Chains A and B, each alone.
Chain A
Amino acid sequence: MKKKLALLAFLVLSSCAAVEGLGSGETEGSPMFSAVRQIGSGIFSRGRGEAPPQFAATRASLNAAGITRPVLVARLDAVGISVGLLEFQTPRDAIVWRSLDGNTITTAGGLLRNTRGFGTDLHSLETAPLRRALSNGGPAEYSRLFRGLDGLDQIETHRLYCQLQPETRETVDVLGRAYDTRRYVETCRLQDRADPVFVNTYWQGRGGTIWQSRQWAGPDLGYIDLERVNPE
């Protein structure tokens, strides 16, 4: 158990309101909850003033810790965070990934939909049109709806006009495991504006799984690099 705890420490995300992050919404009986709770108390007693912990687990260490469910590794350069998140819930078409201090990232088909707890979060970005385009595999044009909370806490909606371009086949390495993928580049703009709002990159495997991606999470968080780890 101790080893497991020590290892899971690597999965931790830095943040100020660490332990409170385990707010409401847990399913008390779930093994995940008790694991997260126990781990949380062990981790946040670490010395003060340390640099934010960086994700440093290996496939072997995940195995040794008994982690069998998928892990999402997220790197947010803008805020200097790298963290592993565990698959926590699968409501409808989405997956909610959760870090040990309770922050979450929600994806649908590997596409970023929202973040919670990382600062000025991504409120929501529509994923369905892109998901359809990716499953068709070819170049595509479509629109995605971005929703953000403005300074007055009201939802501001922007329609982004996007182009998806399939590019070369590439082999990506995710924690020592190689995947044969096709790289897709997605460029999204506001109407009548030349500069793109963002340019995302997706590496999609043969079965349709997005193994690696670089996705925009709003003007404050910037780009998040995501890797999906399927432990053996």
Chain B
Amino acid sequence: MKRCFRGLFAGVALVMGASLPGLADTLGQRPAGPRPTLNFYGSVGLIDMPSAQVMPDGEFSTTISYFGGITRNTLSFQITPRLSGAFRYAATEGLNLAGFETYYDRSFDLRYQILQQREGGWWPSVAIGLQDFVGTGIYASEYIVASRSFGSQLTVTGGIGWGRLGSYNSFASPFSDTRPAFIAGSPGGQFSVDQWFRGPAAFFGGIEWQPTDRLGLALEYSSDAYVTETTQGVFERRSPWNFGVDYQVNRSLRMGAYYMYGSEVGVNFAFAFNPARPLTTPTYRPIPGPLALRPSRGEAPELWTTAWLADPRARPGLGARLSEALAAQGQQLRAFNLGADTVEIRIENTRYSAVAQALGRSARVMAEVLPPSVETFQITLMDDGLAVSTMTIRRSDLEALEQQPDAAEALQTLVGLTAATPTREADLVEGLYPRFDWSLRPYTRTSFFDPDNPILIDLDLRLRASYEFRPGWRVDGALTTRLAGNMNQARVSPSLLPDVRTSWPRYAQREGVALETLTFSYARSLGNDFYGRVTAGYLERMYGGISTEILWRPVTSRLALGAEVNYVMQRDYDMGFGFRDYDVVTGFVSAYYDMAGGYQFQVDAGRYLAGDWGATIAVDREFRNGWSVGAFMTLTDVSAAEFGEGSFDKGIRFSIPVSWFTGQPSQSSVGTTIRPVTRDGGARVNVPDRLYDRVREGHLGNIDDQWARVWR
């Protein structure tokens, strides 16, 4: 065991220490050129100014910076190789605006690299950026910036900024003289199109030099006059020049210290992660043994008999062996159908995040257990009893390909995938239903940006139980109790709408054991690529009622369409069985599109909890190993004034598979949804087990994306 730990430490050291950022490819080759660094705004840049470089695709970073009483926490994401986005929570001490002692502010950025410097090319990289383009506007600015790297150590940057970045030593107002001023205390949240690239513009720029793999030096000229801050005496700006040093501690962490604006010492910590750079390399243990090969038919024809099928012991005997061997691979056998030539198994995958890996492991089990006469394997994936898809694979293809260099690609062209038929009663594993299952786990709930407590967090304990009568017919329930935390200190903010979500702190104040959910549900495939679901009961912490959903998605389609109608009542604050005097019919029609490259689009249009009508647009980038980062916004017929702070509902969300941290197979993930503010407009009821994700999991796009793991 000690040895294992030593190995683990060695592995961690390798990840954390030895190698530096930039994604090495599978041959261990790294990209050329200086490494990009994140500035005080969490954007790629020098110190306080942006540059035109980009982070590696998919890089997910968080920065914490501080100087002169200003703290900025920024979450940024390289959405595509050229497009990046950021969400920032900043606190300015002593900035007394709209009656706050410390001014807290949330803001979003977007930037796009228009030109990219090529190896050996002459042109610099050029980027265009919008800073704080949908917040209250304190950091609002726009810029066009160019950066040119010379060799692998030196980068020179120059740009033009507007708004904040055009406030010092401006040379002109090239596009328009007028720019609406920042108004403290306004609800904000609108796209401030009317101010982009307007008003005075100024030059900024700087030089970065990276003499070693880890060390960097930066000098910049800032075009931000910090007018609001210096007027209020937050800090004194004596010089436009900033300079300092940064150090890449390991692959994830970079630290920098700077002398800023002639008066302040600033520090910046940047933590950068990448979905493609797992913290622990996956081991795929237990590794699959070599595929069991059948004796040749010519040499041992007697073993290829089909007489075994007539033996009454065949079904119980093979069923038991299949169940046991599949269970060792984290696959639960639910039903199976034996034929002399074709055998179908129906499984629930409880271990692997990649469906292809679950299918591959199951096929190996079939090759190990089933008599030689069985040539065709059919594996049907089930999700909580809902049969989703059936993969058909020839055993002789498996045998021929396993050790070939192109085994994965070659097999991909030979498997068939069809929509699953509903599970037949006669195929069920004898004595399996009804099934009871339970779990007891701690979990955390968080809420951010309360002015009194920027981070509210509760540690809760959840007892979950489920009872499955027959595949697809279920009762699920969860009891929770709070172990520790400060969520009960959350404030209820007033609302002009029915308090469908702003009342959440009242639920958080509940002590003792609460009934989180208790639902009866039925889901099944309806044939012709349709799936249906009915769920009734206590759906979530705040609502109970009945929810019905229908989804259309062909197994090879990238498009899915769905419709959902819910009648829900607001639950009592004590989270018992009772309801408050608020009920509403909500419903949506939804379109989902699974774009190549892992981008997932979703549009839901319909009626929301407060009775408002509108639509939600969501875009998520899903990586093949299960990482997902996305953003959403909802516009409804509620006006910005009625909505309150933020003007409309929006947020970002991310989910990181646990296996990315541990290297061990797991279907768990960690993540959260961050909304700048939770209000009542554009709010939806959280119905458990919505169909789309359950069905998509077993469909072609998703299986194809993860196909490389079929043999692992």
- Contact surface of A with B, Cβ cutoff 8 Å: 14, 16-17, 20-28, 48-52, 88-89, 91-92, 94, 96, 98, 102-104, 106, 113-114, 116-117, 119-120, 123-127, 145-156, 158, 190, 197, 218-220
Q: What are some 20 contacts across the A-B interface (CB < 8 A)?
A: A20-B286, A22-B286, A23-B286, A23-B329, A24-B329, A51-B3, A89-B290, A89-B293, A91-B403, A98-B289, A98-B290, A119-B283, A124-B407, A148-B25, A148-B27, A151-B278, A153-B354, A190-B27, A219-B28, A220-B28
Minimal beta-carbon separation of A14 from chain B (angstroms) = 7
How many B residues touch the partner, as a band?
Answer: 35 or more
The docked-state distance in angstroms from the alpha carbon of A156 to that of B624 is 13
Residue of B nearest to A27 (CB): B292
Minimal beta-carbon separation of B119 from chain A (angstroms) = 11
Find out whether the CB atom of A150 lies under 8 angstroms from the CB atom of B26: yes
Find out whether the CB atom of B289 lies under 8 angstroms from the CB atom of A23: yes
Interface of chain B residues 683 through 712 with chain A (CB within 8 A): 705-706, 708-709, 712
Minimal beta-carbon separation of A82 from chain B (angstroms) = 15
Find out whether the CB atom of B27 lies under 8 angstroms from the CB atom of A25: no
Q: Known contacts A24-B325, A24-B365, A153-B624: does B289 contact A190 (CB below 8 Å)?
A: no
Find out whether the CB atom of B286 lies under 8 angstroms from the CB atom of A151: no
The docked-state distance in angstroms from the alpha carbon of A92 to that of B283 is 27
Q: What residues of chain B lie closer than 8 Å to A91, measured between beta carbons?
A: 290-291, 293, 399-400, 402-403
Q: What residues of chain B lie closer than 8 Å to A21, measured between beta carbons?
A: 285-287, 289
B439: Cβ under 8 A from any A Cβ: no
Residue of A nearest to B277 (CB): A151
Find out whether the CB atom of B26 lies under 8 angstroms from the CB atom of A158: yes
Minimal beta-carbon separation of B296 from chain A (angstroms) = 12
12 A-B pairs besides A21-B285, A145-B405, A153-B624 with CB distance below 8 A are A17-B287, A23-B329, A24-B328, A25-B292, A26-B368, A91-B400, A98-B290, A146-B26, A151-B276, A153-B706, A154-B708, A190-B29
The docked-state distance in angstroms from the alpha carbon of A14 to that of B6 is 13
Minimal beta-carbon separation of A51 from chain B (angstroms) = 8
Partner of B405, one of A52, A96, A147, A153: A147
Find out whether the CB atom of B293 lies under 8 angstroms from the CB atom of A148: no
Interface of chain B residues 1 through 56 with chain A (CB within 8 A): 1-4, 7, 23-29
B332: Cβ under 8 A from any A Cβ: no
Q: Known contacts A48-B2, A153-B625, A219-B26: does B275 contact A24 (CB below 8 Å)?
A: no
B361: Cβ under 8 A from any A Cβ: yes
Q: Known contacts A16-B7, A26-B368: does B287 contact A150 (CB below 8 Å)?
A: no
Minimal beta-carbon separation of A23 from chain B (angstroms) = 4
Residue of B nearest to A104 (CB): B290
Q: What residues of chain A lie closer than 8 Å to B27, measured between beta carbons?
A: 146, 148, 158, 190, 197, 219
| B 283-309 to A, binary, CB cutoff 8 A, 1 in contact else 0 | 101111111110000000000000000
The docked-state distance in angstroms from the alpha carbon of A114 to that of B292 is 18
| B 100-119 to A, binary, CB cutoff 8 A, 1 in contact else 0 | 00000000000000000000
